[in-house]
């Protein structure tokens, strides 16, 4: 029942909001409302901030019935197509092209040239490249939700010779492995979470996902070297 301390208008608004939630099938998780990601930012749904409870203006996708769950150790990587720079311009490389029959360290980052990626995350793999490859790794690959030209410029600016840069411009791969990140609140659109993994012949053997996107600790080169 509506609280007797509320005026009639507020009571009516709460009742209408409750009916709307039930009708649209919005799932409530704790203090937050999560709902389908294909709803527009102007949707009449009412998601709220997980920590403060303050209302947000954009949807938070539910992971229980929308999209694949996050990939786990022992899983095969799904089929996806990346773009890389070739001698005459961009070329496509599939998941099989990159990982089949190889032992590959894959680094996922939110964005080329972004502070943590550029200053903290990628430099560690550049510095420790030879040591990582010396552990029986065939290649070190970096993927980000950027176009292939941005990634090519980033690889050159970072002195990352010998690393493979895989452009996931539409976030297809990030979504397929359940490691996409909604950066629309920062004007970044859909991005990838920060992680590192070891993939052997297409199968995930080690997976380190960073809990805080601005940090590069659990997913950093030194942390990965400890378990290679």
Residues assigned a catalytic role: 117
Cβ-count burial 188-216 (b if 16+ within 10 Å, e if not): eeebbbbbbbbbbebebeebbebeebeeb
Two tokens, residue 66 = 């929308």
Rounded distance between C-alpha atoms, residue 219 and residue 164, angstroms: 17
Alpha-helix runs per DSSP H in the chain? 8-24, 95-99, 115, 122-127, 129-133, 148-157, 172-176, 221-225
Q: Which residues of 168-184 are buried (b: 16+ CB within 10 A; e: fewer)?
A: bbebebbbbbbbbbebe
């Amino acid at each position: 029942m509506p609280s007797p301390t509320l005026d009639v208008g507020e009571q009516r608004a709460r009742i209408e909001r409750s009916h709307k939630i039930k009708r649209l099938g919005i799932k409530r998780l704790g203090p937050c409302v999560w709902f389908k990601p294909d709803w527009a930012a102007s949707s009449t749904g009412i998601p709220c901030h997980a920590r403060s409870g303050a209302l947000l203006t954009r949807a938070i996708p539910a992971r229980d019935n929308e999209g694949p769950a996050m990939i786990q150790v022992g899983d095969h990587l799904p089929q996806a197509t990346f773009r890389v720079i070739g001698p005459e311009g961009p070329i496509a490389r599939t998941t099989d092209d990159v990982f089949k029959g190889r032992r590959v360290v894959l680094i996922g980052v939110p964005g080329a040239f972004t502070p943590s990626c550029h200053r903290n995350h990628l430099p560690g793999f550049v510095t420790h490249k030879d040591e990582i490859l010396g552990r029986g790794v065939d290649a070190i690959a970096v993927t980000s939700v950027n176009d292939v030209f941005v990634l090519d410029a980033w690889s050159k600016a970072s002195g990352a010779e010998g690393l493979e840069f895989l452009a996931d411009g539409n976030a297809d791969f990030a979504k397929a492995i359940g490691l996409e990140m909604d950066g629309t609140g920062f004007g970044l659109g859909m991005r990838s979470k920060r992680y590192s993994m070891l993939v052997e012949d297409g199968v995930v053997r080690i997976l380190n996902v960073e809990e805080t996107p601005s940090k590069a600790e659990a997913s950093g080169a030194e942390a990965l070297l400890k378990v290679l």
